[in-house]
């Protein structure tokens, strides 16, 4: 970064990640963005200092506290000069990263490559820096190689490094890398965000509505309760679908969101948006509970780095139980039903509607743990 920013004096083309924290929590994909940028990161947002210390793989982190409320337009204008000299600027493709990245690209006058799987700086034969990236398109089924002759801003898809998709700051142990340098950006480096862009056209925040645990993006859930084929062993499709609906309520009553394996989504017992894995959603919860899930690599590849894993399985030596902190050898379906009973889930009501009734009594634990 520039001399003016004080962030770096380096002349060689470099990369840096920008990560937006909320209340000290890091978004899914933060770890990968840092890795893609070679360990250099600017952490902004609320609780930025603590979040910077929670990031693994950091070589050099700069943080800047921007307080509550996220104003991506102002932030983009404030950050543009700070990261101006960087050839590659990487943001996680998290909601805040997707909000900030296009504004930052516009403020810097650079192209934006959205949803890249990999990105790196390259030098052409004349010594000019550029960016090579692999961009995911067609619902991530097609990868397109892109070569930008010059600097670029990219958003990186979480999960692209095989499952360690991100970190939730605060919940994990501190992971400061030995020798990592973590420092505050001076006010002379970044200045006041509101002064940087008085006409940034950021919306005024009237109210922050917590996502509904039934429908929130699984990738943001800090507790995930997942069901696999073993949870519906011996049931027909209709009964299996009902049990997955019950699982949604049980998960919500536990303050979490329901996930599933591909066997379950392919069978139609639950929606594809709940599929966790290499061809599904990447999660990174504090707690992951697996009901009748074998733990195939394609599933665990989307698990991130959960702090606690509980596996309920009749096979004590299945991979899921092997990687769990707590393994229960039990019938997964029976345990879901028992939990539903104890948590006050209206199993009969859920079964009769076929799908979870949003806002029903069992779904009242709406605290956003994301």
Ligand X SMILES: Cc1cc2nc3c(=O)[nH]c(=O)nc-3n(C[C@H](O)[C@H](O)[C@H](O)COP(=O)(O)OP(=O)(O)OC[C@H]3O[C@@H](n4cnc5c(N)ncnc54)[C@H](O)[C@@H]3O)c2cc1C
Binding positions for ligand X, rule: CB under 6 A: 228-230, 233, 261-264, 275-280, 292-294, 296, 298-299, 302, 312-315, 318, 331-333
The nearest distance, CB 106 to ligand X, in angstroms, is: 35
Q: Return d(Cα 85, Cα 263) in angstroms, integer.
A: 48
Show the CA angle centred on residue 121, arms to residues 117 and 126, nearest 5°: 140
Structure tokens at 341: 């009973």
The nearest distance, CB 297 to ligand X, in angstroms, is: 7
The nearest distance, CB 321 to ligand X, in angstroms, is: 8
Which residue, 48 or 226, has its beta carbon nearer to ligand X? Answer: 226
Which residue, 196 or 294, has its beta carbon nearer to ligand X? Answer: 294
Which residue, 107 or 232, has its beta carbon nearer to ligand X? Answer: 232
Q: In what order do the strands lie in the sheet with 60-65?
A: 142-148, 129-137, 112-123, 152-156, 88-92, 15-21, 40-45, 60-65, 181-184
The nearest distance, CB 295 to ligand X, in angstroms, is: 7
Which residue, 184 or 235, has its beta carbon nearer to ligand X? Answer: 235
**DSSP 8-state class, residue 256:** -
The nearest distance, CB 320 to ligand X, in angstroms, is: 6
Handedness of CA 150, 196, 5, 18 (dihedral sign): negative
Which residue, 87 or 275, has its beta carbon nearer to ligand X? Answer: 275
Name every residue whose Cβ is closer than 8 Å to that of residue 89 and which is 6 or more positions away in sequence.
Answer: 15, 16, 17, 18, 83, 104, 108, 110, 151, 152, 153, 154
Handedness of CA 238, 244, 248, 254 (dihedral sign): positive
Q: Return d(Cα 155, Cα 318) in angstroms, integer.
A: 36
Which residue, 38 or 280, has its beta carbon nearer to ligand X? Answer: 280
The nearest distance, CB 247 to ligand X, in angstroms, is: 12
């Amino acid at each position: 970064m520039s001399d003016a920013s004080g962030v770096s004096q380096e002349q060689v083309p470099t990369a840096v990640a920008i990560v937006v924290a909320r209340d000290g929590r890091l978004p899914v994909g933060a770890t990968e963005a840092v890795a893609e940028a070679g360990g250099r990161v600017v952490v902004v947002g609320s609780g930025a200092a603590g979040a910077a210390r929670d990031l693994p793989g950091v070589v050099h982190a700069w943080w800047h506290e921007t307080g509550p409320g996220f104003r991506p337009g102002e932030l983009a204008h404030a950050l543009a000069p700070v990261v101006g000299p960087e050839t590659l600027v990487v943001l996680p493709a998290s909601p805040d990263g997707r909000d900030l990245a296009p504004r930052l690209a516009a403020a810097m006058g650079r192209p934006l490559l959205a949803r890249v799987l990999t990105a790196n700086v390259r030098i052409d034969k004349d010594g000019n820096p550029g960016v090579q990236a692999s961009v995911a398109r067609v619902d991530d089924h097609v990868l397109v190689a892109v070569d930008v002759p010059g600097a670029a801003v990219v958003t990186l898809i979480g999960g692209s490094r095989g499952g360690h998709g991100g970190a939730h700051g605060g919940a994990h142990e501190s992971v400061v890398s030995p020798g990592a340098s973590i420092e505050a950006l001076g006010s002379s480096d970044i200045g006041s965000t509101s002064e940087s862009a008085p006409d940034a056209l950021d919306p005024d925040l009237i109210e922050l509505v917590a996502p509904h645990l039934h429908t929130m993006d699984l990738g943001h859930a800090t507790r995930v309760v997942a069901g696999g084929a073993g949870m519906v062993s011996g049931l027909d499709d209709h009964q299996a679908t009902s049990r997955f609906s019950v699982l949604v309520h049980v998960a919500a009553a536990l303050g979490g969101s329901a996930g599933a394996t591909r066997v379950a989504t392919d069978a139609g017992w639950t929606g594809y948006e709940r599929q966790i894995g290499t061809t599904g959603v990447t999660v990174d919860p504090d707690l992951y509970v697996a009901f009748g899930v074998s733990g195939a690599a394609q599933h665990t590849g989307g698990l991130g780095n959960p702090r606690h894993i509980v596996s309920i399985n009749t096979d004590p030596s299945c991979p899921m139980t092997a990687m769990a902190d707590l393994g229960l050898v039990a019938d997964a379906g029976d345990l879901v039903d028992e939990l539903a009973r104890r948590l006050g889930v209206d199993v009969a009501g859920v079964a009769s509607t076929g799908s979870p009734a949003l806002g029903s009594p069992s779904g009242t634990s709406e605290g956003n743990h994301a």
